[in-house]
Copies of this chain bind each other. A is one copy, B any other.
Amino acid sequence: MSFENQLKAYIEKVNCELEKNFSERNCLQKSVYDAMSYSIMAGGKRLRPVISLAVCDMLGGETEDALRFGSAIEYIHTYSLIHDDLPCMDDDDLRRGMPTCHKKFGEANALLAGDGLLTGAFEYLSDMEKYKSVDPVTVIRAISAIAKAAGCDGMIGGQVVDLECEEKENVSEETLNYLHYRKTGALIRVAATVGALAAGASDADIRTVELFAEKLGLAFQIQDDILDCIGDESVLGKPIGSDAENGKTTYVTLMGLEGAREKSDAVTAEAVGLLEKYGEKADFVKKLALYLLDRKS
């Protein structure tokens, strides 16, 4: 199968699973289910569950359980977007061209929809009867890894540091790495962890795919900063590095557009290099890394 078709097939699997889980409900608290469903079915790259599926396939596992683990990460990713968009955070009206959850359903419902997705992820993960082949110890390891990645030393911690950096003039590369390792990196990394867990991988293989995903996450973030900068330049005619003007430090403001491109290329190459030992089986995952590096949005 071509890379594009395989990617499509993975995304289709994830969307099917999510649609099944977020079908319409008829109950007195229907409004919160509607808000959750609106946000999680609004599209997106499904990057995290795709990583779980692809890593599991690469390591020779059956993907049913990886799909479950990865989809739970997508719930958490979606809750984080809903809460980030709230007026007390980024105060965004639009996401992916559609009204944000609180614009559509009101702030209270959006807050609760986020809480519901976060809680729902663990409800879904701990429904032991639904697993195909993983044992209870593996399920607990996955729950633990996901909770850590989403928590205060993971995604939430990164978000807190990000908010504090917005008020600072000088943010070091070290702090920027610390922040992104957690804010976007942690969920990408754990997507690989749980893919490997679902495949029954050895500790050595788990470490390899985690290191791969760590580098992938960093490259992804640098690429995001580059796209933001180019977007600003091409769409609004602002000079390169304009993010610095609103006080936000990014990899582009720290190392320039060329420097950021070089760094992103180098980190992606390192990530891909880690997978050499898996031979052809790693083809899709390697191509996924290069695809993310080349993306335009």
Residues of A in contact with B (beta carbons under 8 Å apart)? 27-29, 31-33, 36, 79, 83, 86-89, 106-109, 111-112, 114-116, 118-120, 122-123, 126-128, 136-137, 139-141, 143-144, 147-148, 150-153, 156-161, 163-164, 175, 178-179, 182
Q: Give the complex CA separation of A141 and B128 in angstroms.
A: 8
> Contact between A128 and B144 (Cβ–Cβ < 8 Å)?
yes
Q: Give the complex CA separation of A57 and B51 in angstroms.
A: 45
> Contact between A123 and B148 (Cβ–Cβ < 8 Å)?
yes
> Contact between A120 and B164 (Cβ–Cβ < 8 Å)?
no
Chain B residues lying within 8 Å of A33, measured Cβ to Cβ, are: 152
> Contact between A152 and B119 (Cβ–Cβ < 8 Å)?
yes
> Contact between A143 and B126 (Cβ–Cβ < 8 Å)?
yes
Chain B residues lying within 8 Å of A137, measured Cβ to Cβ, are: 128, 136
Chain B residues lying within 8 Å of A112, measured Cβ to Cβ, are: 83, 156, 159-160
Q: Give the complex CA separation of A163 and B151 in angstroms.
A: 28
Interface centre among A114, A148, A160 (most CB of B within 10 A): A160
> Contact between B156 and A119 (Cβ–Cβ < 8 Å)?
yes
> Contact between A156 and B126 (Cβ–Cβ < 8 Å)?
no
Interface centre among A86, A150, A156 (most CB of B within 10 A): A156
With A126-B147, A128-B141 given, can you name 7 additional A-B contacts, CB distance below 8 Å? Answer: A33-B152, A109-B163, A118-B119, A120-B147, A126-B140, A126-B144, A136-B137
Q: Give the complex CA separation of A144 and B140 in angstroms.
A: 11
Chain B residues lying within 8 Å of A109, measured Cβ to Cβ, are: 160, 163
Give the Cβ gap from A41 to chain B, nearest Cβ, in Å.
16
Chain B residues lying within 8 Å of A144, measured Cβ to Cβ, are: 123, 126-128
Interface centre among A83, A127, A144 (most CB of B within 10 A): A144
Q: Which of B29, B106, B141 contacts A152 (CB 8 A)?
A: B29
Q: Give the complex CA separation of A156 and B111 in angstroms.
A: 10
Residue of B nearest to A157 (CB): B29
Contact sample, A vs B, 10 pairs, CB 8 Å cutoff: A28-B161, A32-B157, A32-B160, A83-B115, A112-B156, A120-B147, A123-B148, A126-B144, A128-B141, A136-B139
A156 with B116, Cβ < 8 A, contacts A147-B123, A161-B29 known: yes
Closest 5 CB pairs of A and B: A88-B107, A126-B144, A123-B147, A29-B157, A29-B160
